[in-house]
């Protein structure tokens, strides 16, 4: 495939017609505190999977699942006013005759979907659907419309939490599932509002459960599906056949802008962590204090492994949870709480789905033996301080802003950065 034309496309964009035109723009959207802790429901109990054994079992219908879940999937319309001066009026010649040009407001509208996760009107969607919006309108499946407030948003996870005032009327909800139970081949349904045509349900299977390198969320860990997902589906639901939320549809790979059978959803377990952080207003990922690299075929042979897999520890921060647990450079981390860790991206995901203060069982290989250690996730420390400095003077780095990396600063900037060193945070236009 020509990688130059394979593009990751965020699904919540484009001009929204019809209902979006009804948006008023008098009041801006503000981040408001959550009045009560958002309670993430525990994952449902796993049930055994069976293969159809006769024609009757093959003649199934997804209608019961769709009918139960669809009322809890909403349309999200957002509008942002871009005020800019008339270009002609910036010219001194015209300004002497007509004065300064008045700002020319231009309304940018976008369209996406959302999932009701609390009956009192809490809705999860993608951050990129509502980012920078001056006003947000939510339309339910029964065509009722509500203005929404942005309660909490996190760009790194590409998730946002909205609240609508239902006047104490309870709304249908979708239960959060356990995305770690999703398996390749499981049937899933995608529900959303593609291209603004109205609520649409499509079906497919889970194509991959640990897809990385998509480039949308810092967690770099997505559920891939071939269910038809198109622009406008962003923030919509990916459901299992129990009607539980497996993921939030987020992006696609496409040459044309439409569905090519390669869609990606943010796992429900990341959504659960995001909701638990809404009360504090900041999503902080736990820290173990160990850095590592993927196991290659060569390093697997040196480590005595029969195949590549796991994370080779290359650095351990003194005083960190990893150091306290006895993890050493050269150890190979293979599992967290019994769940495989195939590479550094999956290690970050396993940690990201657990809250600060959670105690983890870590399986590792050391000198050819499997060992288990226990550690407790902590907040990443801000040591050393970032000490941002802009370089001046007559040199090649004039106008470049640099700072000290720390575990906390590295997490803030994005996954994949080392926890120590110096990082460039800004470059002046003339630099």
Q: Which residues are catalytic?
A: 128, 158, 234
DSSP string, 186-234: -EEEEEE-GGGS--EEEEEEEEEEEE---SSSTT--EEEE-S---TT-T
Residues forming beta bridges with residue 387, ordered by sequence position = none
Whether 371 contacts 335, CB under 8 Å: no
Vertex 131, ends 128 and 134: CA angle to 5°? 145
Q: How far is CA 126 from CA 8, 21, 101, 197, 199, in A?
A: 15, 21, 36, 19, 17
Distance CA 421, CA 67 (A): 53
Distance CA 299, CA 301 (A): 5
Torsion on CA atoms 177, 178, 183, 189, rounded to nearest 10: 20
Residues 6+ apart with CB under 8 A from 291: 313, 314, 315, 316, 418, 419
Residue in the structure block whose two tokens are 């080392």: 418
Name the DSSP letter for residue 301. Answer: H
Sheet strand arrangement including 389-390: 389-390, 400-405, 421-427
User: How many other CB atoms are there within 10 angstroms of residue 2's CB atom?
Assistant: 6
Residues forming beta bridges with residue 135, ordered by sequence position = 79
Vertex 300, ends 298 and 305: CA angle to 5°? 145
User: How many other CB atoms are there within 10 angstroms of residue 269's CB atom?
Assistant: 25
Distance CA 213, CA 216 (A): 8
Q: Give the pair of three-digit tokens for residue 151.
A: 């309660």
């Amino acid at each position: 495939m020509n990688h130059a034309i394979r593009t990751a496309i965020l699904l919540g964009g484009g001009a929204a017609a019809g209902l979006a035109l009804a948006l008023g723009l008098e009041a801006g959207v503000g981040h408001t505190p959550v009045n009560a802790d958002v309670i993430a429901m525990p994952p449902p109990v796993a049930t055994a999977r069976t293969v159809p054994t006769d024609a009757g079992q093959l003649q199934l219908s997804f209608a019961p699942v769709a009918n139960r879940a669809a009322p809890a999937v909403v349309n999200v319309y957002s509008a942002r006013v871009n005020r800019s001066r008339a270009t002609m009026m910036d010219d001194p010649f015209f300004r002497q005759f007509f004065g300064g040009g008045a700002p020319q407001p231009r309304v940018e509208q976008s369209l996406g979907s959302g999932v009701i996760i609390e009956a009192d009107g809490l809705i999860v969607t993608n951050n990129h659907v509502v980012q920078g919006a001056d006003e947000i309108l939510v339309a339910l499946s029964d065509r009722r419309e509500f203005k929404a407030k942005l309660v909490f948003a996190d760009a790194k996870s590409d998730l946002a939490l909205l609240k609508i005032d239902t006047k104490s009327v309870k709304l249908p909800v979708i239960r959060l599932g356990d995305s770690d139970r999703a398996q390749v081949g499981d049937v899933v349904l995608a529900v959303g509002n593609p291209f603004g045509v109205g609520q649409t349900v499509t079906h497919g299977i889970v194509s991959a459960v640990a897809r990385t390198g998509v480039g949308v969320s810092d967690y770099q860990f997505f559920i891939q599906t071939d269910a038809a997902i198109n622009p406008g589906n962003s923030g919509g639901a990916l459901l299992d056949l129990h009607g539980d939320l497996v993921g939030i549809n987020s992006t696609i790979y496409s040459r044309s802008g439409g569905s090519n059978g390669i869609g990606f959803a943010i796992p429900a377990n990341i959504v659960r962590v995001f909701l638990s952080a809404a009360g504090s207003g900041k999503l902080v990922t736990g820290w173990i204090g160990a850095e590592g690299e993927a196991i290659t075929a060569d390093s697997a042979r040196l480590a005595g492994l029969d195949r590549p897999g796991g994370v080779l520890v290359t650095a351990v921060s003194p005083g960190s949870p990893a150091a306290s647990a006895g993890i050493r450079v050269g150890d190979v981390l293979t599992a967290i709480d019994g769940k495989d860790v195939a590479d550094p991206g999956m290690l970050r995901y396993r940690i990201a789905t657990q809250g600060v203060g959670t105690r983890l069982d870590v399986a590792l290989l050391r000198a050819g033996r499997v060992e288990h250690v226990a550690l407790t996730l902590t907040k990443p420390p801000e040591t050393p301080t970032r000490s941002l400095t802009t370089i001046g003077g007559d040199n090649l780095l004039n106008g470049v802003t640099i700072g000290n990396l720390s575990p906390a600063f590295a997490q803030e900037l994005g996954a994949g950065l080392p926890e120590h060193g110096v990082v460039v945070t800004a470059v002046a236009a003339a630099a």
